[in-house]
Chain A
Amino acid sequence: MNYGTSKSRWSSDVQVMLRPAAAYQELAKLPDAPSNWLAVRRPLLFAFVLGCTVSFAASGRLTLRLVAPATIYAALIAVIEVLALAAVRARVSSKTSPSFSISLDLFFTGFGPWLLWLLSFAAFWAFASPVDAFRWTGPRWDLYVVGPLALWSGYIDFCFFRYVFHTTRWSAARDLLFQRGISWTLAAIIFGGGSLWSEIVRSLGI
């Protein structure tokens, strides 16, 4: 099933990126036709793009030696996002939300900003010299790009909870915080847990 919105030349990811409220209202009206493929296709795409980004960043090319294992490790992030969404969905009335597979597909449709950022990052590391790539993807980049990106992505997910789960503004905001709290905490522990505590101590100035 093609779960896109109106007959646009752009993917539904782009439509959700550009006008999340309208796109999610339109997508939520489509008939509910759950399937296993719908549940896994976008999480897999997300993991694959992350795997490709890792390969470009490490070796400047797409090589199976790196893409295959990095996609598997990146799937951990997708699994964490799925678990966090499941936790939120468990709190929402099943009468107002679509099936879990379609919820997953629509939720991952909102990952467009992160995918575009990953691709831009990959392109930088593929084509720029390592020194230039470090210069343009270092801490300053984090501050100026990842911050606004997190806000943009947050607004998209807010629209998802509001219009796909048919909740109030306050409930959508609460669901967003709950989902982020679970997924980002788990991801931070798995990817950076070794120094997390000492970094927290440093940040708090204890």
Chain B
Amino acid sequence: MNSVRWFAALLIAVALLAGTLSDTVRKNPPLMTGDYRVLAADFHVHSFPLSWATLAPWDTVLEAQRQGLDAIAITCHNHVWVAEVGRWFSHLIGGPTILVGEEIVTPTYHLLAIGIDHTIDWRQPAAAAIDEVHRQGGVAIAAHPLVKYWTAFDSNAMSKLDGSEVLHPLGYVWPLAYVQFQQFYARRRLTAIGDSDYHGLGPLGMCRTYVFARDDSPSAIVDALRAGHTVVYDHDGRSYGDPELIRLASQDQRFNPHQSDAPPPTLLVTLSRVTGVAGLFVLILFA
């Protein structure tokens, strides 16, 4: 190996060492407030393969654990088997609660089916898909309800819908999208949901939902979603959800509504970033 390759390899090795040493799990001790267990959750998470995601289900579970999430729903596109693998793996390692879900991707709407056990066919109107979600004991949530999807949610579908994503990364990138999410959420009393629509980019749980449930079991979480027992906070401090729960959370000083904010990078993280990017550039351009 020539000296340039050695130099690139050294930089990458330093990056891997620093990055691996700094890769720790955020500890979130269980929080009880009132009669509720407060759970940090993300209900819109994709995993490799088949859903344009980069992390396999076991990596996704570990990443959720690292981000201090108590529960996630793995919602792959139009199938549930990858989510079942994730649930099995999390059970094996004592990880976060995994709800089996599906993002029903159709040409006219996207719908999250949370807490189901079989794949739901995408070739049906929204109201029929929601009926099927309910028949399987799950809850139906409108995924990133941009105005282009609104016509699919007719009055029949709206009357059956359980919740909608009022906070989604698109809202931070495109202010008009955020307005549309708020307008859709205001159409009727829906469970407020904040999701990261995770495909492997950025922090899992960047947008998250605080669920006020009786415990952290999948059935308790689904019951809480059905009852509207959620609170969502955006990065500007705006809150959505059950007003009584927002008040309850604000009175509890142990509750941190900004858990999703990325902590400032440590020295090791910065070292990993700088040497990693530099090493890869040297390797490709000069080695």
Of the listed stretches A78-86, A132-140, A173-181, name the one at the interface; the rest are far from the partner chain.
A132-140
Could you say which residues of chain B place their CB within 8 Å of the CB of A131? 169, 172-173, 235
The answer for the CA separation of A202 and B110 in the assembled complex, in Å, is: 12
Q: Which of A55, A58, A112, A198 has the most CB of B within 10 A?
A: A58
A14 touches B122 (CB 8 A): no
Q: For the complex formed, measure the closest distance between the CB of A49 and the CB atoms of chain B, giving whole angstroms.
A: 6
User: CB < 8 Å: which of A52, A130, A193 contacts B203?
Assistant: A130
Binary interface encoding of chain A residues 129-157 relative to chain B, with 1 for a CB under 8 A from any of its CBs, else 0:
11101110110000000000000000000
Q: Is B23 an interface residue (CB 8 A)?
A: yes
Q: Is B16 an interface residue (CB 8 A)?
A: yes
Whether A11 touches B16, Cβ cut-off 8 Å, given contacts A58-B54, A61-B272, A130-B203, is no
Of the listed stretches A21-29, A31-39, A66-74, A164-172, name the one at the interface; the rest are far from the partner chain.
A66-74
User: CB < 8 Å: which of B76, B77, B204, B280 contacts A52?
Assistant: B280
Whether A190 touches B285, Cβ cut-off 8 Å, given contacts A55-B19, A67-B16, A134-B172, is no
A63 touches B106 (CB 8 A): no
Sorted nearest first, the 8 A-B pairs with minimum C-beta distance are: A194-B77, A202-B107, A61-B19, A195-B77, A194-B50, A195-B105, A61-B272, A130-B202
Q: Which residue of A lies closest to B266 (CB)?
A: A61
Q: Is B201 an interface residue (CB 8 A)?
A: yes
Q: Is B78 an interface residue (CB 8 A)?
A: yes
User: CB < 8 Å: which of A11, A70, A127 contacts B55?
Assistant: A70
Q: Is B186 an interface residue (CB 8 A)?
A: no
Of the listed stretches B36-44, B59-67, B132-140, B214-222, name the one at the interface; the rest are far from the partner chain.
B59-67
Q: Is B10 an interface residue (CB 8 A)?
A: no
Q: Is A75 an interface residue (CB 8 A)?
A: no
The answer for the CA separation of A9 and B2 in the assembled complex, in Å, is: 12
Q: Which residue of A lies closest to B16 (CB)?
A: A62
Q: A63-B22, A194-B78 are in contact. List 9 more A-B contacts (CB 8 A).
A: A58-B55, A59-B23, A61-B19, A61-B269, A70-B54, A129-B262, A137-B201, A192-B50, A198-B107
Q: For the complex formed, measure the closest distance between the CB of A179 and the CB atoms of chain B, giving whole angstroms.
A: 22
A59 touches B54 (CB 8 A): no
B:43-100 near A, CB below 8 Å: 48-56, 58-59, 62-63, 66, 76-79
B284 touches A191 (CB 8 A): no
Q: For the complex formed, measure the closest distance between the CB of B208 and the CB atoms of chain A, giving whole angstroms.
A: 13
Q: Is A125 an interface residue (CB 8 A)?
A: yes
How many residues does chain B have at the interface if contact means C-beta atoms less than 8 Å apart?
A: 57
Q: For the complex formed, measure the closest distance between the CB of A188 and the CB atoms of chain B, giving whole angstroms.
A: 9
The answer for the CA separation of A201 and B108 in the assembled complex, in Å, is: 10
Could you say which residues of chain A place their CB within 8 Å of the CB of B52? 191-192, 195
User: CB < 8 Å: which of B172, B201, B206, B281 contacts A57?
Assistant: B201
Could you say which residues of chain A place their CB within 8 Å of the CB of B77? 192, 194-195
B262 touches A130 (CB 8 A): yes
User: CB < 8 Å: which of B59, B62, B174, B201 contacts A125?
Assistant: B201
A63 touches B265 (CB 8 A): no
A201 touches B201 (CB 8 A): no
Whether A11 touches B201, Cβ cut-off 8 Å, given contacts A192-B52, A192-B77, is no
B277 touches A123 (CB 8 A): yes
Q: For the complex formed, measure the closest distance between the CB of B21 and the CB atoms of chain A, giving whole angstroms.
A: 9
Q: Is B115 an interface residue (CB 8 A)?
A: no
Q: For the complex formed, measure the closest distance between the CB of A98 and the CB atoms of chain B, giving whole angstroms.
A: 22
Q: For the complex formed, measure the closest distance between the CB of A135 and the CB atoms of chain B, giving whole angstroms.
A: 5
The answer for the CA separation of A45 and B285 in the assembled complex, in Å, is: 13
